[in-house]
Structure 1
């Protein structure tokens, strides 16, 4: 890949998240289905990979497949907690985390991705149960993200995390397609 446009496409293979306005009931149903199906999709993509394949990167200076899987477990745990905070507190300030630094820790560099796949499966089962229970008032609940100084609604965040699921599935597919050769 030669230029910045190519790097941008490798970094965001499905593009960046774009919030529809308004967010419809159909959008929410589609997004929740994406979140619900993510555990089986990521497991199917990764369950037979060798240690060598788990270490393939999806772009120059990008994470390897195992780091993507471990990141999804970390990120989705954090998101689930943020939903619970927003549902039980008035516009709580959420705790950001340094995902790049987390990706360098020993647990994020383990070739054993099974614990992260199990986390994803468990968190998503509970998360989807929660998401399907939300009414229109709860979907408008908000949290404040101090890193980007933004207030987000839960309905928008459902879309962001459906995108996040597909974004990282595309990263894994990209690494497999190119056999980590960047």
Structure 2
């Protein structure tokens, strides 16, 4: 079953709710705890999802304005470590994610079908806006929700 553009946008908007629900009621210790030296805390995971949302926002705008251009990449581990998300209140990080998501949804709803299917290039692979929303954002958030759950399981087992 294929996903419609309306479904994709709604799924994208729901990522903010899913992230918020996954961290609701957690203590500061749970949010800042890391399961290992090279692992991310829950605050860092959510911060990374903000960064990813920002990068994908740029990609979407580049695709509709400069079709078939190379997609921007980012060094996610370095971005996360340099921003010191553990020194930022989670509510502030979540507010940024919410705002970016709502802002992007405004744009996504205005795109015509040709724009929605426009592509940028990831190496030799054409990537559409639909792909960015469904795979690079929605699936990516789902993967990191699993990471949040694994962090909580490890935290409880320590």
What do you get for the CA RMSD once the two structures are aligned? 2.5
Output the CA distance in 2 between the equivalents of 1:157 and 1:180.
34
Q: Does 1:176 align with 2:128?
A: no
More off after superposition, 75-84 vs 153-162: 153-162
1:149 is displaced (CA, Å) by 4.3
Output the CA distance in 2 between the equivalents of 1:126 and 1:47.
23
Task: State which of 79, 96, 110 in structure 1 corresponds to 2:73.
Answer: 96
Aligned to 1:40: 17
Conserved? CA contact 1:56–1:176, under 8 Å: no
Q: Does 1:166 align with 2:135?
A: no
Aligned to 1:68: 45
Number of equivalenced pairs:
157
1:80 is displaced (CA, Å) by 0.9
Q: Does 1:155 align with 2:124?
A: no
SS at match of 1:97: coil
SS at match of 1:151: strand
CA shift digits 1:35-67 (9 cap, x unpaired) = 111212212322432221012346884321111
Output the CA distance in 2 between the equivalents of 1:64 and 1:55.
5
**Structure 1 runs not aligned, ≥5 long:** 1-22
Output the CA distance in 2 between the equivalents of 1:139 and 1:53.
39
More off after superposition, 82-91 vs 44-53: 44-53
**Residues 163 and 64 of structure 1: is their aligned pair in 2 closer, same or farther, counting only changes over 3 Å?**
same
**Structure 2 runs not aligned, ≥5 long:** none
Task: State which of 24, 29, 54 in structure 2 corresponds to 1:52.
Answer: 29
Output the CA distance in 2 between the equivalents of 1:156 and 1:75.
14
Output the CA distance in 2 between the equivalents of 1:31 and 1:58.
33
Normalised by the size of structure 2, how large is the TM-score? 0.84
